Amino acid sequence: MVDFYPLVGPILRRIDPETAHGLAITALKVGLVPSSHQRDYPILENEIWGRRFANPIGLAAGFDKNAEVADTMLGQGFGHVEIGSVTPRPQAGNPKPRLFRLTADRAIINRMGFNNDGADAVAARLSNRHRRQSGWLGVNLGKNKETEEALDDYRIGVEKLAPFADYVVVNVSSPNTPGLRALQGRDPLARLLSGVRGALDGLSIDPRPPLLLKVAPDLTDEDKRDIADVVIAEAIDGLIATNTTIERPQTLIDGRKSEAGGLSGAPLFEPSTRVLADFYTMTGGRLPLIGVGGVSDGAGTYRKIRAGASLVQLYSALVYQGPALVARIIKELAALLEKDGFPSVADAIGADHR
């Protein structure tokens, strides 16, 4: 695949970030971005939740909030794509501007506020989708800002969108919806996950999509232990670690570093990987983890896997490197596994804990 992003990227980065993102979605929808024709690497194949993943690289939620280009992004080489976050009712999100590039730090700050078309519109798009065998689709669920009983919204999301999902994510870790992160506490989280699990089990879906929880990086050790205990007790199928951070590392140099919102990109790599490793230890490696945060190359992907990730997701790095990044990561990861003598990517999961 010819990589045009070194020419196009600098132009896009001169445009307001949210406008540039909209242009990228449009270009993908109308076929202006060619599909990847990378070779397959059997060493990267793995079976998780009874599903065969051609590679562990996935697109994190936030890029395709409204399920407009999921299959197109699978065509870029991702092994899975996660859409959303989707709320039951359409939501405008927070006032603009609400998306900021920290170019000097290879980072992003966003305070989008779950802007999306709502569950009915997304379900309509997904109902017209011809399921492809080139990758899997995750659906990330959120709650509307004004909803007082969060469980009601997550139940609605499950009922409307789980029939189209290969896995379902309960997102209680965005910093941009007031009170949302409080749902990560032991008691409210147990109640929420029990209710969502009940709603999912009540649907006539065969096979039932796995249920995952997405957590924040800004957790105390006690928070992490509570979450680990709850997900094991409630038989949750996996964890996604992590969402964006509200912390601002002292290493940030870009002038936009003081903007409110969640920080993603390169500065999130180390803290998110530590949280991932902690959850691998606290859950005894008993459930699949998806590692997210600051991934921008094969080496970073490999570190997430060795820390305990069965799958790895990225998003912010695409802003700076473009879609050809996916094929580069896949090639680099395969080479690193071979260099260290792992017969498959599955054998490398959690290797740093042995």
> DSSP labels for 9-67?
HHHHTTS-HHHHHHHHHHHHHTT-SPPP-PPP-GGG-EEETTEEES-SEEEPTTSSTTS
Task: Look at the block and give the residue holding tokens 């799958």.
Answer: 311
pLDDT value at 337 more than 70: yes
What's the pLDDT at 37? 75
Top pLDDT among 131 and 303 is at 303
pLDDT-based confidence at 13, cuts 50/70/90?
A: confident
What rounded mean pLDDT belongs to the chain? 95
pLDDT value at 202 more than 80: yes
State mean pLDDT over 203-211. 96
> How many angstroms separate the Cα of 68 from the Cα of each of 84, 121, 316?
10, 10, 18
Q: What are 249-289's pLDDT values in tens digits? A: 999 999 999 999 999 999 999 999 999 999 999 999 999 99
- What is the b/e burial string over 234-253, where b = at least 16 CB atoms within 10 angstroms of the residue's CB? bebbbbbbbbbbeeeeeebe
Q: What are 92-111's pLDDT values in tens digits? A: 999 999 999 999 999 999 99
Could you say which architecture CATH assigns to the domain 5-353?
Alpha-Beta Barrel (3.20)
Q: Which of 35, 85, 134, 174 is catalytic?
A: 174
pLDDT-based confidence at 218, cuts 50/70/90?
A: very high
Using CA atoms, how far apart are residues 29 and 168, in angstroms rounded to an integer?
24
Q: What are 17-69's pLDDT values in tens digits? A: 999 999 999 999 999 888 887 788 999 999 999 999 999 999 999 999 999 99
Q: Domain locations in the chain?
A: 5-353
The answer to whether residue 174 is catalytic is yes
What's the pLDDT at 133? 57
Share of the chain above pLDDT 70, in %: 98
Q: What are 132-179's pLDDT values in tens digits? A: 557 899 999 999 999 999 999 999 999 999 999 999 999 999 999 999
pLDDT-based confidence at 131, cuts 50/70/90?
A: low
What's the pLDDT at 138? 98
